[in-house]
Chains A and B, each alone.
Chain A
Amino acid sequence: MSVKIVITGIGIISSIGRNAEETFDSLVNGKSGIKKISILTTIHKDSFVAGEIPLTNDELIEQADTNLTPPFTRTALLGMIAAKQAWKDAGTEKDDDGKTGLISATTVGGMDRSELFYKDFLNKDEPNPYIDTHNAGNSTEMIARDLHISDYLTTISTACSSSLNSIIFGARLIENGVVDRVIAGGTDALSKFTLNGFNSLLILDKNRCRPFDDKRSGLNLGEGAAYLVLEKEEDALKKGKKIYARLEGFANANDAFHQTASSDEGEGPFLAMKKALQRAGLSPADIDYINVHGTGTENNDLTESRAMMRLFGEKIPDFSSTKAFTGHTLGAAGALEAVISILALQNGLMFPNLNFGTPIPETGLTPVRTVVKKEIKYVLTNSFGFGGNDSSAVFSWPDFKEKKSPLKSVPTRLEKPVYIIGTGSVAPQETLDPDHFLDELISVEDKYLQIKKPNYRDYIHPKALRRMSKIVRMGMISAKTAIEDAKTEQPGAIVTGTGMGCQRDTEIFLNTLLDNDEKMVNPSAFIQSTHNAISAQIALMLGNTNHNMAYVHRTFSFESALMDGMVLINKNEADNILVGGIDEITEESWLLKTRLDYFKKNPVNNLKLLDDKQPGALAGESASFFVLASENSETAYAQLVGVDTLFRPSSKVEIWKRIESFLKTHNLKTSDIDLVLLGYNGDPEFDPIYDETARKLFENKKIAYYKHLCGEHDTSSAFAVWIGAMILKSSEIPEIILKEGNTGAPVKNILIYNHFRNINHSLILLSKA
């Protein structure tokens, strides 16, 4: 790593402690948090044990010590508690220089409340505030508001590796100069949804889990949250901050084998560990201790063992799984175990792998079984998730007395140009026919817009198709189209953004669960409900083992995916990156959002959207994918110049200043913009922000809009990028998108500006390639 990154703050809450001190105390005294379920209401409370935090939500609110007001989900409360600890620990509140980012992770977001109120959401026509806390970005935004972070925030959801991926993305943002420090981690509360989901997969142990034991019979679920403060070593030393550890290396790889199981030889886990060591410039022999993923399932522990044997050969480092202490905390596990790894490093101790008796005969590996003292210089931590999403990171305790080589200053914008060399879109208009660019319009009068259904079998094998819900199909087809268009065989990374993820699968699973009183629920819908299901399915289709990520932060989701792609290219970590944004509309999700007046209740003619006076936006859906490359070519569509996000601006002036400074970063002025693509969605309350912005900054420019063609959804900006890329390549402007100005005069620079309800604002800048 050119920029050295260190950890200056830690925060943690789980069933074994409300902070780092209590956690450490439990770890050294062998005190497991896995007990009878007492807080969660479930018919399974006497059948399964879990790592539940023995505090009610009211007690957690007290613990959170916040000025924010309800509604609070349990997931958000846990996140707020742990994040604030890390924040205070690092003295971040006193940092008045540079930019601070918040990268959080969760698997099921606000499900702990949604599952209590879901039938009310559906049946009672009232604005239940928990409808809007369901999305995965909610807990992140609560933390951001509590800590007053607004420079950069996003949410990752890649199943059980989620929060290690937040640490990885946070580190990349610092390396690329996008922010100066980040608070990164994850949070997940125990829920009936996950308990029943894992039960339907038959991988829950009824007793305390036994990682790496021959008789292991599954995992225990847990809940918790953990966060790290990451910053540049240079800054931390200059400010005299206490340093816990240095982040030496990290990697994400995809197993590309199966939706839930690891391949026999643990290819993804092997690649993640190997690449993390490579990035750290270390050899396997350097690792002193591994905090393994070790869930206690038959498949994980065997394949993780094999992956370790492949990488480390005869000399497998000391290792242990701490999941028999905390249970599997899903989206929080990666950060939780990163904190535990740092505690090991700091204290020169390895923590026991509880409940181990007999080694697995095929591998014969024995983990660390008691508290063992050891000077640890390098610790490796693993987190693996559904969809073959595998991550590893290496932390070290460096000798800060050694003479350091001077660091180069970091640019404030990404230096390397990025080009869009392939596109694919599935939307409520004809977008798959390369000979047409929005010239034959589909006009409908409906309560929401749905995609023009492609013939799925032309793209996807019927066998694979049968288990895919609409959103996965949309994603696969647009991804495939973009890859073929770019003539790329194997993308260097696959990155998706989705605000709400696989809503239909989530609804099916949740409804079955509630209707059948937690009995006989279907595993398929649970598996598909994970937010990274689409990026995982694309990896499976292509056999692609590279970096695979899913960003899930409301209308920042696609923008975050673009940022990930751009920073990977900027540091030459990958090329030909597949990036996409996907969201689907379902009858239930539409109905719920009409309760809050987010979506319009009555049918609207999409081509007359801006005349409609009903409150809310016209809902819709789309999937658009792009191949990003570092090299320009004759067939390139556009240059992706930059992307920026703004959270809860205090005024319109702040938005306008941000637009100007964003353009200035890229050496442009508002007068250089030829066409502005605005996110008008027909909401009479919020559309005036676009009107005023156009008047204030873009007088006499071409003003265009696009949501009458795709409807409002979190990743509609991906469809806007598709339109922008098509305009720049074809030099044609479809008449239907123009609000002001004409189709004449060439277009060189396009600015896309989108916001949803004045909360999450985003800017994307495209130029002629």
Chain B
Amino acid sequence: MEELIKQLEKQIIEQLNLEDLEPEDIDPDEPLFGDGLGLDSIDALELIVLLEKQYGIKIENPKEGQKIFYSIRTMAEYITKHKK
């Protein structure tokens, strides 16, 4: 799980072009949206692409994303459960 978290941090920084951040700057339990990392709805769509591209997981309903993308940890948990 911790390895997956590290990998995700790297991938998110790259996919979302968060040039200013290093993986260790992101707290895996911190909310990705709103007060935490401050991501927005367009980033959510990019994260959906990331899940499909890197892990073969397809999310059709954007509403599902809210829970999955709460934090890096919730993402990692979801991936572990659904990875093909």
Contact surface of A with B, Cβ cutoff 8 Å = 200-202, 258-261, 462-463, 466-467, 520-524, 527
Q: Are A202 and B17 in contact (CB under 8 A)?
A: no
Q: How far is the CA of A201 from the CA of B60 in the complex (A)?
A: 11
Given contacts A462-B19, A524-B46, 7 further A-B contacts (CB under 8 A): A201-B45, A202-B45, A202-B61, A466-B16, A466-B20, A521-B49, A523-B49
B62 at the interface (CB under 8 A from A): yes
Q: With the chains together, A523 CA to B41 CA distance in Å? A: 11
A259 touches B42 (CB 8 A): yes
Q: Does B48 contact A (CB under 8 A)?
A: yes
* Docked-complex contact B17 and A258, CB < 8 angstroms: no
**Which of B's residues lie within 8 Å of A, judged by CB?**
16-20, 38, 40-42, 45-46, 48-49, 52-53, 60-62
Q: Which residues of A contact B45 (CB under 8 A)?
A: 200-202, 523-524
Q: Are B46 and A523 in contact (CB under 8 A)?
A: yes
What is the CB-to-nearest-CB distance from B62 to chain A, in angstroms, rounded to a whole number? 5
Q: Are A202 and B48 in contact (CB under 8 A)?
A: yes
Cβ-Cβ contact count across A and B, 8 Å cutoff:
38
Residues of A within 8 A of B62 (CB): 202
CA distance A523 to B62 in the complex (A): 13
Closest residue of B by beta carbon distance from A457: B20
**Listed A/B pairs (15) with beta-carbon separation below 8 Å:** A200-B45, A202-B45, A202-B48, A202-B60, A202-B61, A258-B40, A258-B41, A259-B42, A260-B42, A466-B16, A466-B18, A467-B42, A521-B49, A523-B45, A524-B45
Query: Would you give the shortest CB distance from B6 to chain A, in whole angstroms?
Result: 21
A466 and B17 in contact (CB under 8 A), knowing A258-B41, A260-B42? yes
- A462-B20, A467-B17 known; A520-B49 Cβ under 8 A: yes
When distances are taken between beta carbons in the complex, the residues of chain B under 8 Å from A258 are 40-41
Interface of A is mostly: loop
B74 to chain A, nearest CB (A): 20
B17 and A200 form a contact (CB under 8 A):
no
Q: Nearest-CB distance from B72 to chain A (Å)?
A: 18
For B60, list chain A residues within 8 Å (CB): 202
Complex CA gap A521/B53 in Å reads 10
Question: Is the CB–CB distance between A466 and B19 below 8 Å?
Answer: yes
Cα distance A420–B38 in the bound complex, in angstroms: 39
Question: Bound complex: CA of A260 vs CA of B42, how far in Å?
Answer: 9
The 7 closest A-B pairs by CB, nearest first: A523-B45, A466-B17, A202-B62, A520-B53, A462-B20, A520-B49, A520-B52
Asked whether A463 lies within 8 Å of B42 as measured between CB atoms, the reply is no
Smallest Cβ distance from A207 to chain B, in angstroms? Answer: 14
A residues less than 8 Å from B38 (CB atoms): 463
B48: nearest chain-A partner, CB-CB: A202
What residues of B have a CB within 8 angstroms of the CB of A523 in the complex?
42, 45-46, 49
- Nearest residue (CB) in B for A203 is B62
For the complex, give the distance between the alpha carbons of A200 and B44 in Å.
11
Question: Can you name the residue of chain B whose Cβ is closest to the Cβ of A299?
Answer: B41
Residues from chain A with Cβ under 8 Å of B61 in the complex:
202
A527 to B40, CA, bound (A): 14
> Please, how many angstroms separate the alpha-carbon atoms of A523 and B16 in the complex?
11
Which residues of chain A have C-beta atoms less than 8 A from B18's C-beta? 466
Distance between Cα atoms of A462 and B49 in the complex (Å): 23
For B65, give the chain A residue with the smallest CB separation: A202
How close is B54's CB to chain A, nearest CB, in angstroms? 10
Find chain A residues with CB under 8 A from B41 CB. Answer: 258, 260-261
| Complex Cα–Cα for A259 and B16 (A) | 16
Question: Are A200 and B49 touching (Cβ within 8 A)?
Answer: yes
A527 touches B49 (CB 8 A): no
Contacts of B52 in A (CB 8 A): 520
Closest to A260 in B: B42
Considering the chains assembled together, what is the distance between the CA atoms of A522 and B60 in angstroms? Answer: 15
Which residue of chain B has the shortest Cβ distance to A528 in the bound complex? B42
On chain A, the residues within 8 Å of B20 by CB distance are 462, 466
A465 (CB) vs chain B CBs: closest residue: B19
| A524:B42 contact, CB within 8 angstroms | yes
A520: which B residues are within 8 A, CB to CB? Answer: 49, 52-53
What is the bound-complex CA distance between A570 and B84, given in angstroms? 64
CA distance A463 to B61 in the complex (A): 27
Q: Which residue of B lies closest to A468 (CB)?
A: B17
Q: Which residues on the B side are within 8 Å of A466 (C-beta)?
A: 16-20
Which residues from B are CB-within-8-Å of A463?
A: 38
Chain B residues, CB < 8 A from A462: 19-20
- Bound form: Cα–Cα A520–B19 in Å: 22
Q: How far is the CA of A292 from the CA of B20 in the complex (A)?
A: 43
- Assembled-state Cα–Cα distance A260/B43 (Å): 12
